[in-house]
């Protein structure tokens, strides 16, 4: 189970992804040669 602090951080990063037109690589990275993206959450 995730701690409340980590859960808030995850929600905060998903809010960034939903609201910004250009998302910094710090939070969202395209995995080359695939159609997948990695969501990065720093705690």
Domain count, the chain: 1
* Confidence bin at 9 (pLDDT 50/70/90): very high
For residue 8, give both structure tokens: 């808030």
Domain containing residue 31? 4-39
Sign of the CA dihedral with 18 first, then 24, 30, and 31 last: negative
- Band (pLDDT 50/70/90 cuts) for residue 4 is very high
For 4, list phi and psi in degrees, rounded to 5. Answer: -60, -35
Determine the pLDDT at residue 27: 85
Question: What pTM, to 2 d.p., does this model score?
Answer: 0.69
């Amino acid at each position: 189970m995730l701690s409340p602090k980590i859960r808030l951080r995850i929600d905060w990063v998903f809010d960034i992804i939903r609201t910004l037109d250009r998302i910094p690589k710090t939070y969202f990275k395209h995995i080359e040669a695939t159609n997948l993206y990695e969501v990065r959450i720093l705690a």
